[in-house]
């Protein structure tokens, strides 16, 4: 599943190139997770201003509204002057004066949603509940600790819920908790201020590393230029059940939390 670093890598790979382009045609394929919310013809003639990101939503700002794009479980975007004819899994395409932006999404959990502005009720419903951006100035260790004090659930599902901080999906939650030496099953409200400070630093470190490497290589992910990243190759715990911990040599354990696999080192990560 594309996580925040992959989405940000995707954004950076086409945002500058599509800025200023005029939409010339729109092609809509099979239904995605949510309907577009407008007649595709409404988009024709509009100019792309900038492409921003909030959580895992890419926001294409047009002079007549916004397009929110979500990659779902298996989506990827391509942007190029020319692309081969659309295949069965290509479900949305903007033909612009600078190139074609195409959403490829075999499982169709992704979405493209149009709204007149970011204040629109449909957009607010998707974006309002999102936590702070971990790679921007608003992510503060003290505020993070206060928010965790109000949660009695285990720290890993609390991180993954995304309403305190966005972007910490399964891989990055497992890796950040390892770096911070915290067992994923510890209750969020039982973490001391100093442990939360270590976790805060670890989240930033893990996400920045993934961004630098171009996002993790996941089955269906490729950035808008068709490159893939390498983060998973040097994961400390994620998907390493039974293998020796890279720090202490103890076998990595796997468990399930909130229907998701969790990986941890029983020696390095304290309850
Ligand atoms: Zn270890």
Q: Kindly give the distance from the C-alpha atom of residue 264 to the centroid of ligand 1, in angstroms, as a whole number.
A: 8
What string of pLDDT tens digits covers the 271 residues of the chain?
788 988 998 998 899 999 999 999 999 988 999 999 999 999 999 999 999 999 999 999 999 999 999 999 889 899 999 999 999 999 999 999 999 999 999 999 999 999 999 999 999 999 999 999 999 888 999 999 999 999 999 999 999 999 999 999 999 999 999 999 999 999 999 999 999 999 999 999 999 988 887 754 443 445 554 544 444 557 999 999 999 999 999 999 999 998 999 999 999 999 9
Q: Kindly give the distance from the C-alpha atom of residue 249 to the centroid of ligand 1, in angstroms, as a whole number.
A: 6
DSSP string, 26-76: EEE-S--SS---S-GGGGTT-BEEEEEEETTEEEEEETTEEEEEE-TTT-E
Residue 1 has a pLDDT of 77
Q: Kindly give the distance from the C-alpha atom of residue 250 to the centroid of ligand 1, in angstroms, as a whole number.
A: 5
Q: Kindly give the distance from the C-alpha atom of residue 266 to the centroid of ligand 1, in angstroms, as a whole number.
A: 7
Q: Kindly give the distance from the C-alpha atom of residue 234 to the centroid of ligand 1, in angstroms, as a whole number.
A: 15
Cβ density class 247-269: b for 16+ within 10 Å, e for less: eeeeebbeeebeeeebbbbeebb
Nearest to 33 by CA among 74, 77, 88: 74
Q: Helices 141-149 and 193-212 sit at what angle, rounded to 10 degrees?
A: 120
Q: Kindly give the distance from the C-alpha atom of residue 251 to the centroid of ligand 1, in angstroms, as a whole number.
A: 8
DSSP string, the chain: ---HHHHHHHHHHHHHHHTTPBEEEEEE-S--SS---S-GGGGTT-BEEEEEEETTEEEEEETTEEEEEE-TTT-EEEEESS-PPP-TTEEEEEEETTEEEEEE-TT---EEEEESSTTSHHHHHHHTT--B-TTSTT--HHHHHHHHHT--SBHHHHHHH-SSBSS--HHHHHHHHHHHTB-TTSBGGG--HHHHHHHHHHHHHHHHHHHHTTS---TT---TTS----GGGG-SSTT-TTSBPTTT-PBPEEEEETTEEEEE-TTTSB-
Residue 71 has a pLDDT of 92
Query: Is residue 142 within 8 Å of residue 200, measured between CB atoms?
Result: no
Residue 206 has a pLDDT of 93
Question: Cα(53)–Cα(46) distance, rounded to whole angstroms?
Answer: 20
Q: Kindly give the distance from the C-alpha atom of residue 245 to the centroid of ligand 1, in angstroms, as a whole number.
A: 5
Question: Cα(187)–Cα(155) distance, rounded to whole angstroms?
Answer: 6
Residue 211 has a pLDDT of 85
Q: Kindly give the distance from the C-alpha atom of residue 174 to the centroid of ligand 1, in angstroms, as a whole number.
A: 13
Q: Kindly give the distance from the C-alpha atom of residue 182 to the centroid of ligand 1, in angstroms, as a whole number.
A: 11
pLDDT in tens, 167-202: 999 999 999 999 999 999 999 999 999 999 999 999
Number of other CB atoms surrounding residue 66 within 10 Å: 20
The catalytic site residues sit at: 2-3, 56, 260
């Amino acid at each position: 599943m594309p996580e925040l670093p992959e989405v940000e890598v995707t954004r950076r790979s086409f945002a500058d190139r599509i800025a200023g382009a005029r939409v010339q045609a729109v092609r809509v394929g099979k239904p995605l997770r949510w309907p577009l919310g407008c007649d595709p013809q409404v988009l024709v003639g509009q100019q792309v201003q900038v492409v921003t990101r909030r959580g895992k939503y890419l926001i294409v700002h047009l002079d007549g509204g916004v397009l929110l794009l979500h990659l779902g479980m298996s989506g990827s975007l391509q942007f190029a002057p020319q692309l081969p004819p659309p295949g069965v899994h290509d479900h949305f395409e903007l033909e612009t004066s600078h190139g074609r932006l195409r959403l490829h999404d075999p499982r169709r959990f992704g979405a493209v949603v149009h709204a007149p502005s970011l204040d629109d009720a449909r957009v607010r419903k998707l974006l309002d509940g999102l936590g702070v951006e971990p790679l921007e100035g608003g992510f503060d260790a003290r505020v993070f600790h206060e928010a965790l004090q109000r949660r009695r659930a285990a720290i890993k599902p609390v991180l993954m819920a995304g309403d305190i901080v966005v972007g910490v999906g399964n891989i990055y939650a497992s890796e950040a908790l390892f770096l911070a030496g915290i067992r994923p099953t510890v209750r969020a409200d039982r973490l001391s201020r100093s442990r939360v400070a270590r976790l805060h630093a670890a989240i930033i470190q893990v996400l920045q590393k993934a961004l630098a490497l171009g996002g993790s290589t996941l089955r269906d992910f490729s950035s808008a230029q068709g490159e893939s990243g390498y983060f998973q190759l040097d994961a400390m715990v994620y998907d390493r059940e039974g293998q020796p911990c890279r720090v202490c040599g103890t076998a990595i354990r796997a468990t399930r939390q909130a229907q998701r696999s969790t990986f941890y080192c029983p020696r390095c990560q304290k309850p």
